[in-house]
Amino acid sequence: MHDFDILLAGGGLAAGLIALRLADTRPNLSVGIVEGGSPLGGDKIWSSFATDVRGPQAMWTRELQDHRWEGGYKVRFPAYAREVSTPYASVRSASLDSAVRARLPAEAVMTDTQIDKLTPTLVRLADGRVLEARAVIDCRGHESSRHLKLAYQKFLGVEIECRVPHGRTKPVIMDASVPQIGGYRFVYVLPFSETRLLVEDTYYADGPELHEAEVMGRIDDYIAGMDIGAFERVRTESGILPIALDGDIEAFWNDEPAPVPRAGMAAALFHPVTGYSWPDAVDVADMVKSQPRLDARALYRTLRDHSVERWNERGFYRLLNRMMFEAASPAERYRTLQHFYALDEGVVERFYAARSTAGDKARILSGRPPVPVGKALGVLAKSIPSIRWRPRWRAKG
């Protein structure tokens, strides 16, 4: 006798969306979640572009969106500033937590519960209890692997409440006009209301270390330059996301001794350049709910195949990351994104959705190179054979 049909280890974005989709489309299944913290998802904000998910996916995820900016967003670089018309949206973890709890029985959502060990069909808790399921899905997030070569996107954000309206109506997704310190640096600003702002300082860097006191000082300096008057800090958020440079995805999966199904960051499902995980998490939730067999063996094969396929499809994005990290000095890494954001909106949208066409890739690699030509050619020479287009970069002058 099983305690659950599906038991989700970890209660972050991937697990929450799987739970929601199964509850809505296969209500006869028993689904449980075990999460070490509280609430589900912690205290996070997940953002995405309106074009990242389409059709039914856009419809069933809409209820989770706390904020949506239909008028698009802004970017700033040393060479130019630009407005992009693509709508942008954010989901707070509290909304995911509420939606899951509204659908699952109270006893099926186990927060503040530590996991000691898991197998494809069993989770042993730190207090000695054992939960059995037809399938356990490991959704406990990213862990370092010797088989994946990574850099990092690390950030610290502060949410503030202003005493008077701040005057901002559109998100600033990247303000890279700030001093470039420790790698590609930009500030991210989300206006949640007339008086509420999130200001986040982000770094694309080689190492995961985040010196919060120093970064908070830079955030304070940035806010001072916004000329918004007095404000109160109401919330802080920090995080470290993986940026994929290279790796062996089959070896990554083979490293685990037991064939435990995995989803989310635990399955290396994230955009290689941005670290965004929302579109992949939505895809996997839809995929799981559509499986005719939900036993551990079948789910392991399905989720592994999906992870490997997505990794192999995204070699181009990892190439761009290697250009940024290996062919440019830390202070010059911003030029890669500055070059990219000068392209058409359709190219930008498909890039963020990880659906770039062959033509998009050629355009991204065309024109004046954003990194030194000799170093760029060195990175290209070591790149995977599957990259078959010829970049049309030319030397400066």
* pLDDT, tens digit, 9 for 90 and up, residues 376-388: 555 554 654 444 3
Cis omega (within 30 of 0) for bond into 87: no
CA atoms within 13 A on the CB side of 362: 6
For residues 265 and 244, what is the distance between their CA atoms, to the nearest angstrom? 12
pLDDT score for 388: 39
Q: How many helices (H) and strands (E) does the chain have?
A: 12, 16
For residues 308 and 74, what is the distance between their CA atoms, to the nearest angstrom? 34
Residue that wins the pLDDT comparison between 189 and 369:
189
Same domain, 356 and 302: no
Give pLDDT tens digits for 319-358.
999 989 988 889 999 998 999 999 999 999 999 999 999 9
Burial class (CB in 10 A: 0-12, 13-18, 19+), 169: exposed
Asked if the model's pLDDT at residue 287 lies above 70, the reply is yes
pLDDT score for 182: 81
- Confirm if 139 and 35 have CB atoms less than 8 A apart: no
Residue 52 inside a domain? The answer is: yes
How does strand 172-175 pair with strand 73-76? Answer: parallel
pLDDT score for 394: 34
pLDDT score for 328: 84
Same domain, 203 and 229: yes
- Confirm if 364 and 320 have CB atoms less than 8 A apart: yes
Q: Look at the chain and report how many structural domains it folds into.
A: 3
Of the three residues 292, 313, 334, the one that is the final residue of a domain is: 313
Average pLDDT, the chain: 91
pLDDT score for 285: 98
Alpha carbon separation from 261 to 16, 30, 120, 130, 216 (Å, rounded): 16, 17, 7, 18, 39
Burial class (CB in 10 A: 0-12, 13-18, 19+), 195: middle
Residue 397 inside a domain? The answer is: no
pLDDT score for 375: 52
Question: What is the mean pLDDT of the segment spanning 144-169?
Answer: 95
Same domain, 107 and 157: no
Asked if the model's pLDDT at residue 76 lies above 50, the reply is yes
- Domain holding 232, by residue range, is 149-243
Same domain, 118 and 14: yes
Same domain, 141 and 278: yes
For residues 18 and 362, what is the distance between their CA atoms, to the nearest angstrom? 36
Asked if the model's pLDDT at residue 297 lies above 90, the reply is yes
Question: What is the mean pLDDT of the segment spanning 40-64?
Answer: 95
Same domain, 28 and 124: yes
Q: In the chain, what is the straight-line distance between the N-terminal and C-terminal CA atoms, in Å? A: 73
Asked if the model's pLDDT at residue 294 lies above 50, the reply is yes
Of the three residues 269, 284, 313, the one that is the final residue of a domain is: 313
Same domain, 20 and 114: yes
pLDDT score for 371: 53
pLDDT score for 300: 98
Band of pLDDT at residue 370, cut at 50, 70 and 90: low
Residue 15 inside a domain? The answer is: yes
Asked if the model's pLDDT at residue 396 lies above 50, the reply is no
Look up residue 21 and give its two tokens.
């989709």
DSSP state of 78: S
How many residues are present in the chain? 397
Question: What is the mean pLDDT of the segment spanning 168-185?
Answer: 95
Same domain, 96 and 196: no
214-218 long-range contacts, CB within 8 A, separation 24+: 215/156, 216/156, 216/158, 218/178, 218/181
Same domain, 56 and 137: yes
Residue that wins the pLDDT comparison between 381 and 218:
218
Asked if the model's pLDDT at residue 365 lies above 60, the reply is yes
Give pLDDT tens digits for 90-146.
999 999 999 999 999 999 999 999 999 999 999 999 999 999 999 999 999 877 889
pLDDT score for 327: 83
For residues 135 and 7, what is the distance between their CA atoms, to the nearest angstrom? 6
Q: Give the three-state DSSP class for 303.
A: helix
Residue 309 inside a domain? The answer is: yes
Q: Which residues contact 369 (CB under 8 A, 6 or more apart)?
A: 339, 376, 393, 394, 395, 396
Same domain, 239 and 129: no
Question: What is the mean pLDDT of the segment spanning 251-265?
Answer: 94
